[in-house]
């Protein structure tokens, strides 16, 4: 069983912000797998699908970014998800805008949502799919930048990145070898 988690903030005012790339990619993943976010449980909005005979839970924590780990821990416990079955999609300021980077494990870096997940679960060897948001032209503090809205001229770029991230998450959940997923979707 797999748990695909897209990180973001639940309020409508954050819907089009850089910090909600994970939420957008999770929605794309649910659409790709013909699933709908029909229920709320474990402090998350949840969709269920089946892929290659495996149940896949797609979740968007409702705990706000900095407390994402609470929802992830609860979902992992409820659905008995092993570390290798967790896939987290999130925005990353360390990558140029529109780039997608997939890794089988790693640190939280500067991302508070990932720090929360690692702290709450005690795990770090789970798949992560990062969507680059750094814009070299932006000159505002990081906290203001991640909570600002994506510029209209960049919508297509980020929509494409979210779609690629969703496809990568589905490929991982389908059992595609990780190195092949990285080769196809990184960049």
Active site residues: 19
SS3 of residue 53 by DSSP: coil
Rounded Cα distance, 41 and 62, in Å: 10
* HSE-up (13 A, CA, CB side) for residue 14: 20
Count Cβ atoms within 10 A of the Cβ of residue 140 and give its class: 0-12 exposed, 13-18 middle, 19 or more buried.
Answer: exposed
Q: Of 49, 14, 3, 18, which Cα lies nearest the Cα of 130? A: 18
Name 48's Cβ contacts closer than 8 Å, sequence gap at least 6. 35, 55, 56, 57, 58
Helices (H) and strands (E) in the chain, counts: 6, 7
Q: Can you read off the two tokens belonging to residue 95?
A: 């990558």
Q: Of 14, 186, 35, 31, which Cα lies nearest the Cα of 113? A: 14
């Amino acid at each position: 069983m797999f748990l695909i988690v897209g990180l973001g903030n639940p309020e409508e005012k954050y819907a089009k912000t850089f910090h909600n790339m994970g939420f957008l990619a999770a929605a794309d993943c649910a659409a790709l797998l013909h699933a709908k976010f029909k229920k709320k449980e474990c402090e998350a909005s949840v969709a269920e699908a089946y892929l290659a005979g495996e149940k896949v839970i797609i979740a968007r924590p409702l705990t706000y970014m900095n407390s994402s780990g609470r929802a992830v821990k609860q979902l992992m416990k409820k659905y008995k998800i092993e570390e290798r079955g967790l896939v987290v999609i999130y925005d990353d300021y360390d990558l140029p805008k529109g780039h997608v980077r997939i890794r089988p494990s790693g640190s939280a870096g500067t991302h508070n949502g990932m720090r929360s997940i690692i702290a709450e679960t005690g795990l770090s060897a789970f798949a992560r799919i990062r969507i680059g948001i750094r814009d070299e032209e932006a000159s505002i503090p990081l906290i203001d930048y991640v909570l600002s809205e994506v510029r209209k001229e960049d919508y297509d770029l980020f929509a494409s990145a979210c779609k690629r991230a969703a496809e990568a998450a589905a490929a991982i959940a389908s059992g595609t070898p990780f190195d092949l997923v990285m080769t196809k979707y990184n960049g």
